[in-house]
Structure 1
Amino acid sequence: MVITGLLCGALLGFVMQRGRFCLTGGFRDMYLAKDNRMFYALLIAITIQSLGVYALIQFGLIQFKAGAFQWLATVIGSFIFGIGIILAGGCATGTWYRAGEGLIGSWIALAGYMTMSAIMKSGALMPVNDSLKPYSVPTNSIPATFGISVWPFIAILAIITIVLVVRQVRKPKVFIPSLPPKRKGLNHLLFEKRWHPFVTAILVGLIALLAWPLSEATGRMSGLGITTPSANVLQYLVTGDSKKYINWGVFLVLGIFLGSFIAAKGSREFRFRSPDAKTAVSSFGGGILMGFGASWAGGCSIGNGLVMTAMMTWQGWISLIFMILGTWTASYFVYVRPRTKASRKTAGSYQTTTA
């Protein structure tokens, strides 16, 4: 049954590659370009998953326990993770699917991410990973905190999402010229036509929902998750212990790579692209920060930002906030400040020349 993880991951990798579903770019564009479309797309995926998963729970088909909320680890880890994804050029899932496109920088970031995740979870930094666990509260579930049903919270999320999406859709369209289609029918839709981020988000939400029963059928009581499975890949390669480390989640992340590769080859977007030395160092450093932060926070932009938010947990929503703050902080130092310095130098040079 673990092979269903490969299928689920391949679907996710295919959809994310063709739809360019990149949360790193989405969070960054909220700050730099005041473009919220990808964030609204994330809300669509969260809403669909939340509705579906809690319906499955209502019918007794799957189980979920929110557990305790390790608030300090979530806050600090998510902020560090947000910084890391800007330096790496992609979040955890984005790094896997960009690696499937042949982007060598993503391979480098993935190496740093997997290595640090493994070190934090089972290596020399386990004491660091566990150091913030005492700073927790017993209730992670938002509805349980207020002593009411989860459905009012899901309804509020759905209403907010619908309002934001409708407002976005009603905005004047910007005409983007494109070449005449070279393919017909399904080939054109799958591999050539530009996918709308909201359509992509619906598909991502449905795949995230599908992951729950498929994963729980193997005894893994969770949905999509990237950090621990990524660490498990490296842990298996080092130890050879398949019983301990090969599971549904490992097949999931390998499937993301496979699905993205198929999508990139089909759309003729696959090619090996090597980064320059500076980008390579930044990618590896970003991957290290991603692994460190996600391990502390208990999840990445998918595990916390998509799944735990849908489960209406404090961990998910607070993690999402501090992830975004981390990306904005890194974006300022990586993109805004260098441009500001450059413009000042240019202005100073102009004044000196004309004086």
Structure 2
Amino acid sequence: MLITGLIVGGLLGFTMQRGRFCVTGFLRDIFTLHSWRGFTALLVVIAVHAVGLAALTGTGVITPEFKDFAPLAVVVGGFLFGLGIILAGGCASGTWYRSGEGLVGSWIALFMYALSSAAMKGGVLGGMNDWLKGYTVGVTTVPDALGVSAWWFVVSLAVVTALLVRYFLLKEKAAPAMATLPPRKTGLAHLLAEKPWHVFGTAAIVGTLGVIAWPLSDATGRNDGLGITTPSSNLLKGLVNGNDKGYFDWGVLLVLGILVGSFIAAKASGEFRVRVPDARQAGRSVVGGLLMGVGAAWAGGCTVGNGMVQTSLFSFQGWVALVFIALGVGVAAKLWLKPDQPVNAQDVELATGGSTAGPDAPDPTDFTGLTSAVSVLDRPLVSVGASSSAGTAAKTGLTVLGDGRWGMDTLGAVCPFPLIEAKNAIRLIDVGDELVIDFDCTQATDAIPRWAATDGHEVTQFEARGDAGWVIAVKRGH
């Protein structure tokens, strides 16, 4: 039965990779884009989980067990985990599936995450873990604390989620169509490995796999569902110490399956390529991975164990952890997802040859929309207009392509930096000019064309350049 862990993990990894399913991005978008669309997808996972697990519990198929709520550990751990996933460029499950895409930065973060979580879970940092988790209160789930059936919460969450999904689907239907890559495959191959997967459909599949996972895992003696932190820790412990203590359990095969499934999806879609980070991102991956492991150990889980499973069981741990993970993401976004050298009014006037007054004038304090974004490769990015000279363009980091077209190289930049740079550059070039962006961030294949459609810009070119490389041209519309 252990092999079912590998199968479920493989399906999960394939689904997450093809659906660009990133909880870090969902939470980050609340603070950087003021968008709740991604968070609604997370609610879909939780709601599907909640219905399925409540049914399995009610029929006696599974019997979830809960530890007393440790508020201090959950609050501190959740916040640290939120900081870590911004630095690492993805949460626990996201780091596993992006490793399958060939991102060396994710490999680094994954190792540090497994190492620090192993140190906290019975390793050299075990005492610190036990100390912070020693303070508990005698509650486990919200329904139990209130003395009511969990179905009241299950049905309420399902209704709210359905209304939110309907709202965003109607909003998408009314918006201009988003540009997509031209098809190169046909039939089932196109549907599975090429056509973009909608985030809500992807979320429904992830939630369904989570429901299926619990009884399959329970059949092997592991009374739990989806989980990433303990399996990652156990994998490292098993590799170092052997399997005398049964480290290679269903959960370990689950996370290995995520890696395999993601690799298969990335290869099938032409999105696999080994991509080595620059020194800055490598350093962030190290620190981010360490914070993820420590934070998840204290909080009792990651964005999967807490943010998808414990929330669906309506435990205090799950919902409090999710709130503080989100707060950590918000603080980290303000600290690190901003330009190194903000553009001031004089820079913009010099670059565009015009006035900075008016609705398009950039506000250097608002990096969510029109701030200058500096490439993670340490290239200064200050856009120039059509009236500027080629020398000025070269100095500022854009390439003059002629006929009102400007090239921007973001190869090597991880999500969300290609989008941040594009949003800045498009605001500083002239209306009708085109920004031609080279990028190799898989998530940007959705983020950049979605932003262009939402903000009223025209995509005049969108194509793949070999494996895991793309070019998109965006004409400024206003």
Whether 2:75 is the aligned partner of 1:48: answer no
Compute the displacement of 1:344 (Å).
4.5
CA–CA distance in structure 2, aligned partners of residues 328 and 346 of structure 1:
30
Match of 1:205 among 183, 204, 207: 207
List per-residue Cα deviations over 1:278-301 (Å, max 9, x = no partner): 110101110000001000000000
Among 228, 252, 255, the alignment partner of 1:253 is 255
Deviates more, 1:175-184 or 1:202-211: 175-184
**What are the Cα deviations for residues 85-126 of structure 1, in whole angstroms up to 9, with x where unaligned?**
000000000000000011100000001101101111121110
Higher RCO structure (Cα 8 Å, ≥6 apart): 1
Counterparts of 1:36 and 1:248, CA distance in 2: 34
Pair 1:214-2:216 in alignment: yes
Aligned twin of 2:76: 76
Distance 1:254 1:40 in 2: 28
Partners of 1:39 and 1:191 lie apart in 2 by 25
Question: Which residue does 1:353 correspond to in 2?
Answer: none
1:78–1:297 contact (8 Å) kept in structure 2 = yes
Deviations 1:238-296 (A, max 9, x none): 11125431100000000000000000011010000000011101011100000010000
Contact 1:67 1:138 in 2 (8 A): no
DSSP 3-state at the match of 1:343:
coil
C-alpha separation between the residues in 2 aligned to 1:6 and 1:47? 24
What is the number of equivalent residue pairs in this alignment? 348
Q: 1:296 aligns with which of 284, 295, 298?
A: 298
* Aligned residue in 1 for 2:61: 61
Distance in 2 (alpha carbons) for counterparts of 1:238 and 1:346: 58
For residues 58 and 329 of structure 1, the distance between their equivalents in structure 2, rounded to whole angstroms, comes to: 40
TM-align CA RMSD = 1.5
Residue 142 of structure 1: aligned partner: 142
**1:108 aligns to what?**
108
Correspondence for 2:165: 165
What's the counterpart of residue 285 of structure 2?
A: 283
Q: 1:333 to 1:179 in 2, by over 3 A?
A: closer
CA distance in 2, matches of 1:178, 1:286: 32
User: 2:269 matched to which residue of 1?
Assistant: 267
| Deviation at residue 181 of structure 1 after TM alignment | 2.0
Distance 1:173 1:324 in 2: 28
Any conservation in 2 of the 1:73–1:296 contact (CA below 8 Å)?
yes
* Residue segments in structure 1 that go unaligned for 5+ positions in a row: 351-355
TM-score, scaled relative to structure 2: 0.71
Distance 1:178 1:145 in 2: 48
Distance between the aligned counterparts of 2:209 and 2:43, measured in 1?
15
| Bigger strand fraction | 2
Change (3 A) 1:344 1:180: closer
Distance 1:348 1:203 in 2: 46
Aligned to 2:8: 8
Counterpart of 1:334 (choices 336, 355, 363) is: 336
1:123 partner amino acid = G
Q: Secondary structure at the match of 2:183?
A: coil
8 A Cα contact 2:210 2:225, kept in partner = yes
Letter in 1 for 2:150: V
* Structure that is richer in helix per residue: 1
SS at match of 1:292: helix
Match of 1:186 among 185, 188, 201: 188
Paired residue for 2:229? 227
Inter-partner Cα distance in structure 1 for 2:99 and 2:320: 29
Deviation at 1:28, TM superposition (A): 0.7
Which is further off, 241-250 or 160-169?
A: 241-250
Contact 1:76 1:293 in 2 (8 A): yes
Aligned residue type for 2:184: K
Quick one: percent identity of the two aligned structures? 52
Q: 1:315 aligns with which of 309, 317, 325?
A: 317
Shift of 1:173: 2.4
Q: What secondary structure does 1:220 align onto?
A: coil
User: Which deviates further from its counterpart, 64-73 or 251-260?
Assistant: 64-73
* Aligned partners of 1:37 and 1:197 also within 8 Å: no
